[in-house]
Amino acid sequence: MANKHVNAIVVGAGAGGGVVAKELAVNGLSVVLFERGRWQTYDEHDNDELISQRTTVLGNAFGPDNERHWRLLMDAHGNEHIVLPNEWGYNNNAACVGGGTLSYGAMAWRFMPQDFKMRSTYGSVEGSTLEDWPISYQELEPSYEKAEWEIGVAGDDSQNPFAPPRHKPHPMPPFPYNKEAKMMQDAAKRLGWHPFPIPMLRNSVRYRGRPACIRMRTCVGFACPVNAKCGTQNTVIPEALKTNNCILRTECTVSMVLVDDRGHATGVEYFDEHNRRQTQTADIVVLAASATETPRLLLNSKSRLFPNGAGNNSDLVGRNLQGHAYTGAFGLFEEEVYDDIGPGACVAICDFNHGNPGLKGGGLLANEFIRLPYLFTGIRPPASKRWGTEHKEFQKKYFKRHAQAVGPIQEMPVFDARVQVDDTVKDFWGMPVAKLSGHRHPYDLELTDFLSRKAETWMKECGAVKTWRHQPGLGLSGGQHQAGTCRMGDDPQTSVTNKYGQVWEIDNLFIADASLHVTNGGFNPALTILALGYWVGDYIVREWRGTKFKS
């Protein structure tokens, strides 16, 4: 039996998609929200370090599975090989209801005004497609606020002199510091920096019917046992379903957007939970499938007017893939600095996001989430022996006597860092898989060099007896903070969508995830993706001229 026609299809029940589905549903549009994963609970993987979203050696806790979802990765020498979702290089994001927001670390950063104006603030960078966003911080500010209050954020900007202006404070008070963060706060103040509590999409007090955080050691990479972590799966998605205007179809994998000969999207084709090919038609299609899967969907949606994929007649879809070059420093201490109060990360500085002499951009620094025992086996000063007595002594002595200052630098977008599709390699359902290729911009390493030195200074001021820095290489970026592959802009020649996420070439096709990011900030991107969900959703609702939902 054919599916009933609806007003809107939203593909992907993660940060962006969850918000858009709710915004449309509460405003009376009929919505089908597609999710290739399923509802997940804490009980399935509880505190299992080896199957989390952080350490995936035995599998991804929250998807996707290894049996159906491979990708192709092209290495620096041009060799292609297949990568599985739990392997390095896949650039995985969780596939489940809530997407990454079920198991993320939940930092709730607003980008700074300069982050939307990188090109005009710093000028061009050779070899980079650095550009301004078509929207300013001021324009997005109400959407940030809505995300903070509807999803829930604990924080206090008053201690951060670099915080962007806001109309309303955070809805919940900030989290108190753990032992490590207290030490790092004191040291940062001695250095003349400005430490403050990290804003978190996590309940510090009871909020909107869900309890306060119980400070688990296992938080980032895990689902929350008491539902204190705020994601779309426990906020906007249930709200959307409550309206009776929204149907959530889990374990349904959308394979292409259907585009007619007049250049309009008519719906999507998908494979249901029994792997049967199905069609769902709609007046509007919104893609929020991640910065890898959204461009893959567009590229796989070939039609008469769009032989190279939907909205891709300018060959821009899938380009400018970026993420975050994480960098920082470790410190070893004589005294214990660990008090087992999770999730660990709670103090940050924004002193080095912008205004660094001679540099273009920068990034935040914070203390790191708790390094669990297996992950800690990989944390050693350079040239250390990684096994035997030396391993065990180090593990015993320093598990509770080490700290890490770490942060993401704002990467310079590279045109040839990209997502493509490859006709020769198909997924379980026969659709061409995503092919990832390219590399970071060399400038990123100048910034990581700079920021890691600041991190090392911080560790030393804390009294570390030994410190060492860490920086990534020039390999392809992306990861869980993947972004930029369908950038928004004012010029159809250089962007995939307009400032509202509306695909230039197909006016009833929208994008509402990090694919839209022109640049990716020196911050974790989750709150910005949620805010863009509100921004795009609000525009669709305002412009909607269709019929209201009739059941």
Partner 1 sequence: MPSSRRQFLKQAASGFAGTVLLGACAATPKSRWRFFTREEASLVDLITEQIIPTDDTPGGIEAGCLNFIDKQLVGAYRRHQNEYRQGLLGLQNSSRGKFGKTFQELDWPEQTDVLDAIEAGDVEAADWSGVSPQRFFQLIRDHTMQGFYGSPRHGGNKNYLSYRMLELDVPHIIGQNRYTQGLDKPNGWIN
Residues that bind partner 1 (CB under 8 A): 47-50, 57-59, 70, 82, 156, 158-159, 169, 173-174, 176-178, 182, 197, 205, 214-218, 225, 339-341, 372-374, 376-377, 386-389, 391-392, 395-396, 399-400, 425
Nearer to partner 1, 104 or 398 (CB): 398
Nearer to partner 1, 268 or 345 (CB): 345
Q: Which two tokens stand for residue 425?
A: 């390699």
Residue 374 C-beta: closest distance to partner 1, Å: 4
Half-sphere exposure of 460 (CA within 13 A, CB side): 10
Nearer to partner 1, 227 or 457 (CB): 227
Three-state DSSP state, 398: helix
Nearer to partner 1, 218 or 327 (CB): 218
**Which residue has tokens 């998609």?**
17
Residue 275 C-beta: closest distance to partner 1, Å: 18
Residue 103 C-beta: closest distance to partner 1, Å: 16
Give DSSP secondary structure letters for 512-530. -SGGG-SS-TTS--HHHHH
Sheet holding 324-332, edge to edge: 196-197, 347-349, 365-367, 402-410, 324-332, 466-470
Residue 295 C-beta: closest distance to partner 1, Å: 22
383 Cβ contact list (under 8 Å, min separation 6): none
Q: How far apart are CA 136 and CA 366, in angstroms?
A: 26
Nearer to partner 1, 72 or 486 (CB): 72
Residue 524 C-beta: closest distance to partner 1, Å: 20
Residue 349 C-beta: closest distance to partner 1, Å: 15
Q: How far apart are CA 192 and CA 161, in angstroms?
A: 12
Nearer to partner 1, 80 or 132 (CB): 80
**Do 483 and 515 contact (CB within 8 A), yes or no?**
yes
- Closest alpha carbon to 522 in 373, 362, 332, 391: 362
Distance of CA 545 to the CA centre of its chain: 32
Residue 198 C-beta: closest distance to partner 1, Å: 11
Q: How far apart are CA 237 and CA 158, in angstroms?
A: 31
Question: Which amino acid, one-letter code, is at 370?
Answer: I
Q: Which two tokens stand for residue 443?
A: 């400038």
| DSSP β-ladder status, 509-511 and 6-11 | unpaired
Nearer to partner 1, 411 or 427 (CB): 427
Nearer to partner 1, 121 or 395 (CB): 395
- Cα distances (angstroms) measured from residue 186 to each of 160, 193, 343, 463: 15, 10, 20, 11
Residue 152 C-beta: closest distance to partner 1, Å: 15
Nearer to partner 1, 125 or 375 (CB): 375
Residue 318 C-beta: closest distance to partner 1, Å: 22
Q: Which two tokens stand for residue 108?
A: 């709730």
Nearer to partner 1, 58 or 474 (CB): 58
Residue 340 C-beta: closest distance to partner 1, Å: 7
Give DSSP secondary structure letters for 25-55. HHTT--EEEE-SSB---GGGTTT-GGGSSS-
Residue 82 C-beta: closest distance to partner 1, Å: 5
Residue 190 C-beta: closest distance to partner 1, Å: 17
Q: How far apart are CA 195 and CA 481, in angstroms?
A: 24
Nearer to partner 1, 158 or 494 (CB): 158
Q: Give, in degrees to the nearest 5, the angle at Cα 241 between 239 and 245.
A: 115
Nearer to partner 1, 10 or 347 (CB): 347
Three-state DSSP state, 167: coil
**Do 125 and 38 contact (CB within 8 A), yes or no?**
no
**Which residue has tokens 């050691």?**
217
| The 3-state secondary structure of 232-271, one letter per residue | HHHCHHHHHHHCCCEEEECCCEEEEEEECCCCCEEEEEEE
Nearer to partner 1, 356 or 377 (CB): 377
Residue 424 C-beta: closest distance to partner 1, Å: 10
